[in-house]
Amino acid sequence: MLEITIDEDGIIHLKGSFDAAQARDFEEVFDEIGETKVLDLTNLVYIGSAGLGVLLSVQQRLSKIGHHLKLFNPNNHVRDVFRYSGLDQIFEIQDTG
């Protein structure tokens, strides 16, 4: 299950698992992103290839207009998924400490 909330600063918070089932459900949410956004991954416990595909699609679309996604505070497992897939070279990933 994936929960997405957007706080008053426009930061998008992902909570739960972002896999194939959730990718289809939330694709519309990500399609609406039209400028640089911060995705807080603090509470994202899992991301699968379908979730990566959605984020990569948004990143590619935004890069064409000079914007991008900033990924913030992924746990070790989520960070490893980005690193092993090579997507850590495409996304800006920041940690709290």
Determine the angle formed by the axes of helices 49-63 and 76-85, rounding to 10 degrees.
70
Neighbours of 77 (CB within 10 A): 11
Q: Which of 44, 40, 43, 36 shows the shortest CA–CA distance to 69?
A: 36
pLDDT at 96 over 80: no
Predicted TM-score of the model (pTM): 0.90
Instruction: Give residue-wise pLDDT tens across range 37-93.
Output: 999 999 999 999 999 999 999 999 999 999 999 999 999 999 999 999 999 999 999
- Coil, strand, or helix at residue 23? helix
Tell me how crowded residue 97 is: count the other CB atoms within 10 A of its CB.
3
Q: What is the pLDDT of residues 6-16, one digit of tens each?
A: 999 999 999 99
Reply yes or no on whether the pLDDT at 97 is more than 70: no
